[in-house]
Amino acid sequence: MKKLINDPLKVADELVEGLVDAYNGECKFVGSRSIVKNDIPDNKVALLVGGGSGHEPIYHGLVGRNLADGAACGDIFAAPPPNIVFEATEAVDKGNGVLYLYGNYAGDVMNFDLGAELSEDEDIDVRTVLIWDDVCSAPPTEKDKRRGIAGLVPIVKLAGAASQTASTLDELEAAAKKAVLCTRSVGVSMSPGSIPATGKPTFDIDEDKIGLGMGIHGEPGVAEIPMTTADELTVQMLDLIVADFEKDEEVETLKEGDEILLFVNSLGATTMMELLIALRKAKAYWTEKGIKIYDVMVGPLVTCQEMSGISFSVTRMDDELKGYWEMPCQSVCFSKMEGRYGG
Amino acid sequence: MKKLINDPLKVADELVEGLVDAYNGECKFVGSRSIVKNDIPDNKVALLVGGGSGHEPIYHGLVGRNLADGAACGDIFAAPPPNIVFEATEAVDKGNGVLYLYGNYAGDVMNFDLGAELSEDEDIDVRTVLIWDDVCSAPPTEKDKRRGIAGLVPIVKLAGAASQTASTLDELEAAAKKAVLCTRSVGVSMSPGSIPATGKPTFDIDEDKIGLGMGIHGEPGVAEIPMTTADELTVQMLDLIVADFEKDEEVETLKEGDEILLFVNSLGATTMMELLIALRKAKAYWTEKGIKIYDVMVGPLVTCQEMSGISFSVTRMDDELKGYWEMPCQSVCFSKMEGRYGG
Amino acid sequence: MGKETLSINETRDMMLAVADKIIESEPILTDADRALGDGDHGVGMERGMNAVKEALANQEFPSVGKVFMGVGMAMMSSMGGASGAIFGTLFRSGGKALGDAETFDGAGVATFFKEGVEGVMKRGGAKPGDKTMVDALAPAADKAGEVADLPVCEALSAVADAAEAGKEASKDMIATMGRAKTLGENSRGKADAGACSVAIIVAAMRDFAA
Amino acid sequence: MGKETLSINETRDMMLAVADKIIESEPILTDADRALGDGDHGVGMERGMNAVKEALANQEFPSVGKVFMGVGMAMMSSMGGASGAIFGTLFRSGGKALGDAETFDGAGVATFFKEGVEGVMKRGGAKPGDKTMVDALAPAADKAGEVADLPVCEALSAVADAAEAGKEASKDMIATMGRAKTLGENSRGKADAGACSVAIIVAAMRDFAA
Ligand SMILES: Nc1ncnc2c1ncn2[C@@H]1O[C@H](COP(=O)(O)OP(=O)(O)O)[C@@H](O)[C@H]1O
Ligand SMILES: Nc1ncnc2c1ncn2[C@@H]1O[C@H](COP(=O)(O)OP(=O)(O)O)[C@@H](O)[C@H]1O
Ligand SMILES: [Mg+2]
Ligand SMILES: [Mg+2]
Ligand SMILES: [Mg+2]
Ligand SMILES: [Mg+2]
């Protein structure tokens, strides 16, 4: 693996510096390794995201207009330490509290919780909503064991919009929880990414196998299946999402007439060509079920270096979420004009 | 290489179908393999892009709001045949002519020229502006031999905005020519992509070498250099851009106080992490020269399957181009809100 | 005994035989392009010739020229890329020059190749010596001019020899156009893929008329 | 003759010795985590302990507890990830429980490990048997409770043996937490990386006090 880097031990610091440069004055570097918007209005209920680096453009690429106010950035594939969470919290807080919205990984939960304790010591009101969209990581009765994967992009987009109008932390928390509850993802992986510091692959998988339901670092899913066609795999993956809405007693089954936001993500090496071919099948799949695609996102937004793999995320939309969606937004991760495609 | 596809000989058709699905009603599939917007206003001066498939999200991902009106899509890495160019031309023409804006490759020029002949036979007014931003493919005195690489994204963005207000084909042609003249790129590659139909790599390069100035399919550049750091490589690449502005008698030398649009592109496998690290150095480079970064684009927009490599594109901005830039736009390739970062 | 002239339908059947021959030769063309180019010339020509078969089979044409123009159109629109334009132009330009002739004779062979190579050079800008299909096509056209008075079978036989010789001569050239120019001096020693196609096409025409 | 109690500065120097020992053991920890995890535990602990050295060297502390809390804070903020939080919590919780004591004795050892392991289990949710560092830490804490009346040198010696035995026992366990749970039955046979760290830390404490 030829990587264009300088010092393998400094990649996380340097990439966050570069990210701040990409924002060209709209964001600043804060504390040890956080990125925070410059123009957060007084009294805004703040939205903070974060997690390990190396998955660019997430998580820190989700800071932006009508998106997150800041991000606490960890080292490669490692949760940000509590002081970084605290420094980011202090910087985004405008007196009306801070919502932490991040993927459910043990390391992240421990460090964000510690960061929350430090922040509360400074009288900052902090609330946490965990993202656990990966339906293959635990059954619907054990959602607290589920991982956060690509669904965090639409969820943060929706919460970012909600944070523009929310007048209390309670309100923003409720909106974010709704976005989480309505979003489900399934991912697969076909080959590993590598850790810049060691150059070593993050996991092993046979040349002719696909890890169905595998997480974004190679965590196990529901099965290892033989390499197959884009169309067959798409159906298998979407069936798992449909089944989860069915089995989960907290949400209604997906049914004819429902509207969904569809996100097709690449884990890195899987090309846009492949995403679009899979998207084509997904469109046919939902159309056949009478489920309407409200809007579409596609691209390599949640990655793990040069890992190959794809995920589908589905968010069931209602009027509240549609309102959040239609707001324009702008970031290195995801930008859009007002409205939606075909709308 | 595990690729998520169905039939290797149908990837181009299927991916354009998927692209149309991604636009969710905003665009339609036209003729043999074109994508065209549904709502092109009567009398709009139309903008048509196109080229070989396999470089997703370009070229066809540049169709969208305030961007191109349509794209003629070739097979993988092959120019679209004349009938596809003609079908796209007929579909985007609203009675006020069509500007062809595409990368300067022999196959594309031949086929678009043939398509133009077919279109003119049907009394459609067609004009062509070639994109030749790759400064490493020929000296400034032989620009007609230069290739089009990643610079085509900002160029099409600017021309797409210009096409919203242009009242004649002449006007749009002039704006596009200006965008081309102001845009220069340098790319490198470190490892090849593969052709889906054969699974074969598109070129060979030593494990410890970088192809400096290499084109997006592996066409030769100015030198093969040893693998180096992101910072050193960034300086070498930007020096080539600066030198080109200097040597080219058609444009002024880049000087203190100038404002540039900076685009850092990945050819596919090179990660956002690496792009951001290089961007960090690029920002320092331009700042030291007193050249102001007007706005920034970063991401894998001009790719060649899982090829690894990076390119920098620089567009010198003036008031006219700034006006075009600040317009919002929306497509699978590149979206933005009104304005600019830090603006 | 070879044919004096070809009728419209015979011309069509000749091109169907050419198509089969090219399809059969796909591995040869693939290997040639893999050595010097990107390896897709074989599948490209195969796709083009399958389209030719679809466009020609059981079709009636008003003139010999229209048969060739149909071949050109089918190749151009199914192949795409540089070679679709180049080979499409060869057959379209050559066919167009034949006007509404209802037979294909030695003079027709001369006209077809002369206008064909001119169209190709105008379209693609390649000159003889650039190591492209022009290096098989140009000598073929020159020879066709010399043998315009012969029966079509004899004319095509002479032209096929010239194309074959041109293809062989391309081995010694250094590529200056297209992908192979990457290789510079290393492109020497192997024949150009498009020149191989031209030699195979003309040989199949000769075999049909013989 | 081993030490009866440790002063604040001796406690600080003991932790500097621990830091050196962990840095020296980086390859062992890397190998352990490579076998069962993602291979970064060695460099993570090394980074943490370098931060500890920076935080402690030539510093004066008002209490023994503050020394340990400084260690915890340095690890927590430099390491990140699960293990930064876990090891940081061990030293912060253990140190906090020592109040403003100015010497570290057998009772202090007992308090430190008891509160330390409780903090870790509360923070990370791991129980003994999950094949984590808790499997070295919990037996260490139990033993520390039993030997609270002994001089610090003897107490730490007994606790180090217990940590070592706990680490060894972790070899037979199946991972249920963290990355290694991927391996299921295959995680048997190797010791947990974090448990190795605990054993090394306590052994270095013993060696200093001896
Ligand atoms: N400008 C040109 N003029 C004449 N022939 C050309 C030209 N460019 C390419 N060719 C021919 O096309 C052949 C390559 O065809 P093919 O492999 O199908 O297309 P590509 O080069 O796009 O992969 C070359 O071997 C050469 O004979
Ligand atoms: N929830 C937890 N409770 C206790 N110890 C844990 C927990 N999670 C991880 N560990 C410990 O951390 C060690 C791994 O540390 P390290 O490799 O540095 O972190 P990571 O697992 O994030 O790569 C494991 O060997 C285990 O002992
Ligand atoms: Mg070729
Ligand atoms: Mg080709
Ligand atoms: Mg580890
Ligand atoms: Mg780790």
Could you give the CA distance from residue D11 to residue D25 in angstroms, rounded to a whole number? 21
Closest C-alpha among B293, B263, B258 to residue B278: B263
| CB proximity list for B265: less than 8 A, separation 6 or greater | B150, B153, B187, B275, B298, B299, B300, B301, B302, B310, B311, B312, B313
CA distance, residue C188 to nearest chain B CA (Å): 18
Chains A and C in direct contact, meaning 3 or more beta-carbon pairs closer than 8 angstroms: no
- B99 three-state secondary structure: strand
Got the DSSP string for A283-307? HHHHHHTT-EEEEEEEES-S-BTB-
Q: Which residues of A touch D86 (CB under 8 A)?
A: 110
Q: Where in chain B is the domain with CATH 3.40.50.10440?
A: 9-181
Which helix (H) or strand (E) segment holds residue C203: the answer is helix C193-209
Average pLDDT estimate for C12-32: 96
Ligand 2 contact, A197 CB (< 6 A): no
Average pLDDT estimate for B145-152: 96
Number of Cβ within a 10 Å radius of residue A42: 7
Q: What CATH number was assigned to the domain covering residues C6-209?
A: 1.25.40.340
- Residue in chain B lying closest to C77 (CA): B81
C103 pLDDT higher than 70: yes
Q: What CATH number was assigned to the domain covering residues B183-326?
A: 3.30.1180.20
ipTM of this complex prediction, to 2 decimal places: 0.92
| CB proximity list for C186: less than 8 A, separation 6 or greater | none
Could you give the CA distance from residue A32 to residue A29 in angstroms, rounded to a whole number? 8
Average pLDDT estimate for C170-193: 78
Are the C-beta atoms of B3 and B31 separated by less than 8 Å? no
Distance, C-alpha C128 to centroid of its chain: 15
D159 pLDDT higher than 60: yes
C182 pLDDT higher than 60: no
All chains having 3 or more CB pairs closer than 8 angstroms to chain B:
A, C
- Hey, is the C-beta of A198 within 8 angstroms of any chain D C-beta? yes
C178 pLDDT higher than 80: no
Could you give the CA distance from residue A285 to residue D133 in angstroms, rounded to a whole number? 47
| For the ranges B194-208, B216-230, D196-210, the one whose mean pLDDT is highest | D196-210
Helices (H) and strands (E) in chain D, counts: 9, 2
Question: What is the pairing mode between strands A70-76 and A34-37?
Answer: antiparallel
Q: How confident is the model at residue D53 (pLDDT cuts 50, 70, 90)?
A: very high
Question: What is the pairing mode between strands A126-131 and A70-76?
Answer: unpaired
- What are the structure tokens assigned to D108, written together? 């202090």
Pick out chain A residues at pLDDT < 70. none
Got the DSSP string for A221-283? -SEEEE---HHHHHHHHHHHHHHHHHH-TTSPPP-TT-EEEEEEEE-SSS-HHHHHHHHHHHH
C184 pLDDT higher than 80: no
Catalytic residue among A55, A60, A143, A147: A55
Closest C-alpha among A323, A246, A333, A306 to residue A49: A333
**Rounded to 5°, angle at Cα A131 from A127 and A135:** 150
Among the four given CATH numbers 3.30.9.10, 3.40.630.10, 3.40.50.10440, 1.20.1260.10, the one describing domain B9-181 = 3.40.50.10440
pLDDT score recorded for residue C37: 79
- Residue in chain B lying closest to A28 (CA): B342
Got the DSSP string for B35-73? EEES-PPTTPPEEEEEEEESSTTTTGGGBEETSBSEEEE
Residue of the nearest CA to atom 1 in ligand 2?
A: D124
B105 pLDDT higher than 90: yes
Could you give the CA distance from residue A45 to residue A95 in angstroms, rounded to a whole number? 8
**Which atom belonging to ligand 2 lies closest to the Cα atom of D132?**
27
B343 pLDDT higher than 80: no
- What are the structure tokens assigned to B102, written together? 């595409």
The tens digit of pLDDT for each residue in B277-330 reads 999 999 999 999 999 999 999 999 999 999 999 999 999 999 999 999 999 999
Identify the DSSP state of A6. S
Which region among B18-27, C109-118, C168-177 has the lowest average model confidence (pLDDT)? C168-177
Pick from D44, D80, D177: which is nearest to A80 by CB?
D80
Got the DSSP string for B300-324? S-S-BTB-EEEEEEEEE--HHHHHH
- Lining ligand 1 with CB less than 6 A are B 78, 106-107; C 33, 37-38, 40-41, 44, 81-83, 86, 120, 124-126, 132-134, 177-179, 192-195
pLDDT score recorded for residue D180: 59
A55 is catalytic: yes
Could you give the CA distance from residue B133 to residue B147 in angstroms, rounded to a whole number? 7
E strands, chain B, where? 27-30, 34-37, 46-53, 64-65, 70-76, 98-103, 126-131, 183-191, 209-212, 223-226, 259-266, 292-299, 308-316, 330-331
A60 is catalytic: no
Instruction: Note whether B24 contacts A273, CB cutoff 8 Å.
Output: no
Catalytic residue among B44, B55, B281, B336: B55
Catalytic residue among B37, B217, B281, B316: B217
The tens digit of pLDDT for each residue in B167-221 reads 999 999 999 999 999 999 999 999 999 888 878 888 889 989 999 999 998 888 9
Ligand 2 contact, D135 CB (< 6 A): no
| CB proximity list for A336: less than 8 A, separation 6 or greater | A328, A329, B330, B335, B337
Closest C-alpha among B55, B64, B59, B78 to residue B27: B64
Average pLDDT estimate for D160-168: 98
Domains in chain C: boundaries = 6-209
Could you give the CA distance from residue C206 to residue C203 in angstroms, rounded to a whole number? 5
Closest C-alpha among B176, B34, A137, D5 to residue C77: B34
Could you give the CA distance from residue D187 to residue D131 in angstroms, rounded to a whole number? 9
Could you give the CA distance from residue C132 to residue C88 in angstroms, rounded to a whole number? 15
In a 13 Å sphere around the CA of B118, the CA atoms on its Cβ side amount to 19
**Which atom belonging to ligand 2 lies closest to the Cα atom of D192?**
25
Which region among A45-49, B63-67, B74-78 has the lowest average model confidence (pLDDT)? B74-78
Q: Where in chain A is the domain with CATH 3.30.1180.20?
A: 183-326
Closest C-alpha among B135, B133, B85, B77 to residue B112: B85
D182 pLDDT higher than 60: no
